[in-house]
Amino acid sequence: MNIYIDEAGQSARLDSGTVSYVLEVVDGKYLVHRYFGPSLRRWHGCGTPVYYKRAYSTAHDCSVPNVSFDDFPFEYPARGRGDFRIPSLQVQRQDGISVVEPLFKSWRVLEGKPGIPGLPSVFQGDTDAATLELPARSYEFLSLYGTHAKEANRSRFALHSGIQKIESVRGSSSPQHQPFFALLSPGTTETSGEVYAMHLVYSGNFLAQAEVDSFGNVRAQIGIHPEGFAWRLEPGGHFATPEAILNYGGSGLNSMSHGFHRLYREHLMPRHFAETMRPVLLNSWESMYYDVSMDKIETQAALAARAGMELFVLDDGWFRADNSSSSSMGDWQCNLEKLPGGIRRAAGIVHGKGLKFGLWFEPEAVCKNSLLYRKHPEWVLHIPGYEPVEGRHEYLLDLGRQEVQDYLVGVLDSYLGSGDVDYIKWDMNRPLTDVCSLALGPEQKGETAYRYILGLYEVLHRVTSAYPGVLIEGCSSGGARFDPGMLYYVAQNWASDNTDAFDRTVIQDGFSLLYPPVATGAHVSITPNHQTGRYTPLDTRYQIARLFNLGYELDLTKCSEEELEMIAGQIAEHKGERAWMQGGIFSRQEAPNRNYMVWSVMGPDRSQCQVMVFQKFYDPLCCHGRFRIQYLDPDTSYLETGSGQIYGGEELMQIGFTVPLVKEDFHAFTFHFRRLDTEKMPPVNSNQFRSGILKRGLNPPPDCVIF
């Protein structure tokens, strides 16, 4: 990324060759936003608004004629001095006055990007909550909403006058709203239209909002939710806010996604696992639930090894006093009646089958009947005078306390230190309530929720630093805490407790807007599905999971020999393609009608492309659509390896192929296109999709600019 500051030091342009971001200092003290979008060679002051004299306004010591601060594009706005729109900063002084006016002091270009103390960041950087000023024109607001087992649904509407917002006050990023939104030019599709996106690298309460002012200007913003939050700042003290990613895509939603995917895969998730082939796992949950035993572990592991799986994960139940969620949480002592010989013996059985061994934890929670709670009731979040609210029979530990952090690290170290555990599924199954820490004085109570997240990050930092080779999968009742903050520490995340293939098309499609497929756990489960009761073919269940982080979650003893052979074939196929698919370009291709969903992964060198077409229902009225595949090389030919048919790249992009009418609901068609010529094409990058990412202060990948 190049940074240009003009000779007078009054404007700065950050440019990646794809995207530019322009700031200007007005009168040496007001820092304002001037531009964010496709790359500019230079900025000559173009596009600055002309103000007119009007009543019911304020006057300021500013050289801009007739300026009103109520529509001035401040880079870091605050209320109380003439700007009445949404602020980036609110401060209450010791004298009770809550007005502050941030003024420009100086800027300098740093070598590299400094880290944020205690917070995750791309390339370990430093930033504010992001505010973006956009010019007056029409936009559409895109976000992801949902609930448990129905995550990542798209919401899209025309931006209108006033404030539109999404938020979480649940203590985590939540399944209700992803800490992301995008402003789109009207009619934006997967392959056309402008996209201005924001994504917060944080796992706690957030507020994301866009305000259209009286003149049609748009102020977009994302950061810590102010409700319930206050931080006492001593003289000379510092406070670090979470990092926010700004992403511009000039060629539709795919251009936005390609930028996010590359950034997160190469510059956010743990580097040890960024390019490591992820193991195909078998999770015990839907085969055992809480009723675990050594015999079941041995039987399932043997069948998993026979099918070619590489990791067996023992989920909840191994420490429970009974077969329910009501006991023992927080003590983390293996129930030796269920598992004689403990976790070491269970791991030995699994390792003996040639598999890696994974173990489920929910470190942040504690049950009322646990030994830990009886010994340290002051360690839970609770409000004096109120009985703490339970969720899934659990309270939450006060992770802001150092002694709680030390206890959790000690627990995990007791299992990881022996080398028996290769993988952790890190779960968290309830929202925060009773958000009060007994360790903080009255003047610091507003810090509790934020300190909880800082404590979580500290525990994860200590564990991942001590055991960098242990793969961690994040989970929070599915996708309730699937966010960039967690992805900094955990290389993959469980997208949803709903494993139904039909529902998973929507869930995984939504998350694919933001996260590379390798970060999204996708499992093949039993039919009828345990969450929905729906029947879907085994091949469809596999194809829906295939392009993502493939795993299995079913009782293999209930599979027929034919099904076991099919599963073995699926895993062998996946192992043969995951090396190029994990680093490939994932795209959502446009379907001819709503009865189909189309995904593709193209190899980094464009030599091959895997396409999945999902037919929701048998419907003859929808059978004549053509499926066009974008981003191929138009000047060469491709062989569809299943049929032997040859297509020109431009044919597939402009005309498309057709699929037969199959009399079956929930059917998945798959196509593998291999380039016929031997000439190596240049790698695909986001420049070809007119995308870019900005985040304050970051040295970006070559095709992005980041502030």
Say how far apart CA 593 and CA 626 lie, in whole Å.
9
Contacts of 198 (CB under 8 A, 6+ apart): 130, 132, 180, 181, 182, 208, 220, 221, 222, 244, 245, 246, 247
Beta partners for residue 223, in sequence order: 207
Burial label, 289 (beta-carbon count in 10 A; 0-12, 13-18, 19+): middle
Say how far apart CA 499 and CA 476 lie, in whole Å.
15
Q: Catalytic: which of 497, 500, 503, 633? A: 497
Contacts of 271 (CB under 8 A, 6+ apart): none
SS3 323: coil
- Token pair recorded at residue 122: 């791309």
- Helix or strand run (H / E) with residue 180: strand 180-184
Q: Catalytic: which of 71, 83, 126, 427? A: 427
Please, how many CA atoms are within 13 Å of residue 126, restricted to the half-sphere of its CB?
10
Q: Is 27 among the catalytic positions?
A: no
Yes or no: say if 214 and 167 are a contact pair by the CB < 8 Å rule. no
Q: Is 427 among the catalytic positions?
A: yes
- Token pair recorded at residue 112: 């590299």
C-alpha 37: how far from its chain's center? Answer: 23
How big is the chain by its Cα radius of gyration, in Å? 26
How many CB atoms are closer than 10 A to CB 678?
6
Say how far apart CA 103 and CA 30 lie, in whole Å.
6
Say how far apart CA 524 and CA 543 lie, in whole Å.
9
Helices (H) and strands (E) in the chain, counts: 13, 30
C-alpha 498: how far from its chain's center? Answer: 18
SS3 441: coil
Burial label, 592 (beta-carbon count in 10 A; 0-12, 13-18, 19+): middle
SS3 654: helix
Q: Which long-range contacts (CB under 8 A, 24 or more apart) does 644-648 make?
A: 646/676, 647/673
Catalytic residues, which ones?
427, 497
